[in-house]
Amino acid sequence: MRVVSVIAQKGGVGKTTTAMSLAAICSEASRTLLVDVDPQGSASWWAETVGDSLPFEFATEDDPGVLAQLRQSVADDFDVVIVDTPGSLEGRDVLSTVLANSDYVVIPTEPAPLAVQPLITTMNNIVIPSGVAYRVLLNKVDGRAPGMRDDAFSMLDAQGIQHFRASCRELRAHVYAPAAGQVVTQYAKDRYSIEAASEYRAVALEMFADWNVTVGKHTPLSVAAGKGTGK
């Protein structure tokens, strides 16, 4: 079992969207649990709107400190546990508790330089010294300005900070999904959302590759790999 925490030093960068979407994709190939440790409860509300169609298990925990016990109690039942964390992790205690109980950390950020620069500081001061495997995920990428994504990659590369090669574009479907009661694999297949699931599949494939996990031959994840969407 691997515990994957979605963290950021900034609010509103897409932690909950990433956690819910990655959980939906992982559930195509793995027994997946999403744990909401954010008192704001956005993921819990989203999970409620999806209801019985939610393709993964869901739990709410008020205190990130319970992650240690949780890890032991669900180890035999799940392959992947995704943790959605509070809006701002300025508080080092919360961040260090989450890091201490994670096997892998995903750090979403918007690609704008003013978002990436402080992220680099947090990475160098807190995340990298913790020794936990991680990757930064560029989210809300403007499809009409791919240069900004490439510049963000260059800023991260210059500092030796690991990032997913895949990124997630700013798509309207992600904004409507919680109220519509859908996770990324259930979005309408219109031109605004058709790419949403494949972007997260590409992210998941990189994560699985980091773990040296081979996904089953007939799962949607391996179909995505065959189509070369893991750019």
- Of 41 and 220, CB closest to Mg ion: 41
Say if CB 54 and CB 229 are below 8 A apart. Answer: no
Q: Which of 32, 28, 138 is nearest to 79 (CA)?
A: 32
Considering only residues 128 to 167 of the shown chain, the ones binding ligand ATP according to CB under 6 A are 139-140
Residue 133, helix vs strand vs coil:
strand
Interatomic CA distance for residues 220 and 118, integer angstroms: 36
Question: What binding mask, one character per residue, do residues 15-34 give for ligand ATP by CB under 6 A, x or -?
Answer: xxx-----------------
Interatomic CA distance for residues 181 and 10, integer angstroms: 26
If one asks whether residue 15 binds Mg ion (CB under 5 A), the answer comes out as yes
Interatomic CA distance for residues 150 and 167, integer angstroms: 10
Interatomic CA distance for residues 31 and 163, integer angstroms: 25
The residue type of 221 is: L
If one asks whether residue 91 binds ligand ATP (CB under 6 A), the answer comes out as no
- Of 2 and 15, CB closest to Mg ion: 15
- The footprint of ligand ATP on this chain (CB under 6 A) covers a number of residues equal to 19
If one asks whether residue 11 binds ligand ATP (CB under 6 A), the answer comes out as yes
Give least dist CB 174 to ligand ATP, A. 4
The residue type of 168 is: C
If one asks whether residue 60 binds Mg ion (CB under 5 A), the answer comes out as no
Interatomic CA distance for residues 58 and 83, integer angstroms: 10
> Which position among 5, 16, 18, 167 is part of the footprint of Mg ion (CB under 5 A)?
16
If one asks whether residue 10 binds Mg ion (CB under 5 A), the answer comes out as no
> Which position among 171, 184, 203, 221 is part of the footprint of ligand ATP (CB under 6 A)?
171
If one asks whether residue 14 binds ligand ATP (CB under 6 A), the answer comes out as yes
- Of 99 and 221, CB closest to Mg ion: 99
CA-to-CA separations, 109 to 65, 68, 78, 133, 188, in angstroms, rounded: 25, 26, 27, 17, 25
Q: Which does 17 bind (CB under 5 to 8 A by kind): ligand ATP, Mg ion, none?
A: ligand ATP
Interatomic CA distance for residues 120 and 114, integer angstroms: 11
Considering only residues 28 to 47 of the shown chain, the ones binding Mg ion according to CB under 5 A are 42
If one asks whether residue 27 binds Mg ion (CB under 5 A), the answer comes out as no
Name the site residues for Mg ion (rule: CB under 5 A): 15-16, 42
